[in-house]
């Protein structure tokens, strides 16, 4: 895999004026969280966004500079990279980086990113994510190689961070074929995507999404908070009485609409910390120096309180937006309001102060 070299990125930040470092991100996903945190830590902020999307960010008055593109894909253009370097920008990646940008060009992008690029890239492969989680000793759902292997309830997903769009649940091959045709027909997935289904055991339990921050500077893994998602139409289906559901052949999908903040039963917290620490340890083996900064897990807690992990993101997730300002766990750890956007900016600020910026960017 061609990836921009560590030396090149260290060279770029080496030329930055430490007093003028700005924090940049794409205007979408969790940009408001990132900009607010950056502002609170005294950074200038740069919003790179597609024409028309800047309107939203201007309403919140959180960005100092805008780089407006005809389309988001132009972010990998030489001129945009040069402008970001002129602005001494450290880029904070979020869900839109993998969802909307071309992987190959992103790997070659020469603007410093707060995070580990190799691990960000793992997000594009469910197989590699599962190897990582399994390597960390976590419980993960069974994977079915082919629709004919399906036994019991199975969950069918499609490539990329699509926020659950077009996913479905089935319990046999025939139902699988029928639903995949339905999803293409209703344009929830493309015919191309339909060729690469990823079929997992369906885990019954409660979905819980913990957020973590691994500080390279202190070596500590912090548990930042946890959210729960609200997905359409699955979270609305239960409002329809069962006979009508059957009559209408309701087929729920999992398009993310929003998130709720939540707290966990206190006795679960030890295991939640353990999961984060094991993921970090395995990441250090897989892609040294391992996780840098934000990372988040998607888990389901079964009725016997077993925690099953099914996805990992080596970056901020949008569920952190439910905790902008403060989370109960951050309140316990810090004597001041703290949340993911601010925690990330704090790490960048500390790295600049300690002259260690090259250690936290790739």
In the bound state with ligand AMP, the residue whose beta carbon lies nearer, of 29 and 342, is 29
Contacts of 327 (CB under 8 A, 6+ apart): 224, 225, 261, 338, 339
Q: In angstroms, give the least distance from the CB of 216 to ligand AMP.
A: 25
Which residue lies nearest ligand AMP, judged by its C-beta?
163
Q: In angstroms, give the least distance from the CB of 148 to ligand AMP.
A: 19
Question: Mind giving me the DSSP string for 100-142?
Answer: HS-HHHHHT--S-BBS-HHHHHHTT-HHHHHHHHHHTT-B---
Q: In angstroms, give the least distance from the CB of 193 to ligand AMP.
A: 13
DSSP annotation of 139 reads B
In the bound state with ligand AMP, the residue whose beta carbon lies nearer, of 146 and 218, is 146
Binding site for ligand AMP (CB under 6 A): 28-29, 95-96, 99, 141, 155, 157, 161-164, 167, 200, 202-203, 207, 229, 231, 254, 256, 259, 298, 300, 310-311, 318-319
* φ and ψ at residue 314, rounded to 5 degrees: -90, 50
Q: In angstroms, give the least distance from the CB of 16 to ligand AMP.
A: 28
Task: Return d(Cα 102, Cα 28) in angstroms, integer.
Answer: 17
Q: In angstroms, give the least distance from the CB of 224 to ligand AMP.
A: 15
Task: Return d(Cα 231, Cα 190) in angstroms, integer.
Answer: 20
Helix, strand, or coil (residue 46): strand
Q: Would you say 355 and 63 are in contact if contact means Cβ atoms under 8 Å apart?
A: no
Residue-level length of the chain: 362
- CA distances in angstroms from 91 to 22, 114, 214, 299, 323, listed in the order given: 9, 6, 17, 28, 21
In the bound state with ligand AMP, the residue whose beta carbon lies nearer, of 237 and 256, is 256
Q: In angstroms, give the least distance from the CB of 95 to ligand AMP.
A: 3
In the bound state with ligand AMP, the residue whose beta carbon lies nearer, of 163 and 358, is 163
In the bound state with ligand AMP, the residue whose beta carbon lies nearer, of 26 and 357, is 26
In the bound state with ligand AMP, the residue whose beta carbon lies nearer, of 13 and 75, is 75
């Amino acid at each position: 895999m061609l990836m921009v070299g560590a030396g090149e990125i260290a060279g770029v930040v080496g030329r930055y004026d430490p007093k003028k470092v700005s924090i940049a991100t794409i205007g979408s996903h969790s940009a408001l969280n990132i900009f607010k945190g950056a502002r609170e830590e005294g950074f200038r902020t740069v919003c790179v966004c597609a024409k028309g999307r800047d309107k939203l960010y201007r309403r919140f008055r959180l960005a100092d500079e805008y780089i407006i593109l005809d389309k988001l894909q132009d972010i990998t253009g030489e001129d945009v990279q040069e402008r970001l370097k002129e602005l001494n920008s450290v880029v904070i990646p979020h869900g839109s980086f993998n969802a909307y940008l071309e992987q190959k060009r992103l790997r070659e992008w020469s603007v410093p990113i707060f995070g580990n690029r190799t691990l960000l890239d793992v997000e594009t492969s469910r197989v590699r994510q599962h190897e990582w989680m399994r390597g960390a000793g976590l419980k993960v759902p069974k994977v079915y190689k082919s629709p004919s292997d399906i036994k019991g309830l199975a969950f069918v997903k499609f490539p990329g961070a699509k926020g659950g769009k077009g996913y479905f649940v089935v319990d046999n091959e025939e139902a699988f074929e029928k639903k995949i045709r339905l999803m293409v027909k209703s344009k929830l997935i493309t015919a191309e995507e339909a060729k690469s289904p990823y079929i997992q055991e369906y885990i019954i339990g409660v979905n819980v999404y913990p957020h973590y921050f691994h500080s390279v500077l202190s070596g500590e893994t912090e548990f930042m908070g946890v959210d729960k998602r609200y997905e359409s139409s699955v979270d609305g289906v239960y409002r329809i009485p069962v006979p009508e559901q059957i009559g209408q052949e309701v087929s729920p999908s999992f398009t993310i609409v929003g998130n709720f903040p939540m707290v966990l039963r206190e006795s679960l917290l030890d295991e939640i910390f353990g999961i984060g620490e094991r993921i970090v340890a395995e990441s250090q083996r897989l892609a040294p120096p391992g996780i840098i900064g934000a990372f988040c897990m998607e888990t389901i807690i079964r009725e016997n309180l077993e925690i099953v992990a099914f996805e990992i993101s080596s970056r901020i997730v949008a569920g952190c937006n439910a905790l902008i300002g403060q989370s109960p766990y951050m309140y316990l750890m810090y004597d001041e309001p703290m949340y993911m956007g601010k925690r990330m900016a704090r790490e960048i600020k500390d790295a600049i102060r300690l002259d260690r910026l090259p250690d936290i960017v790739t």
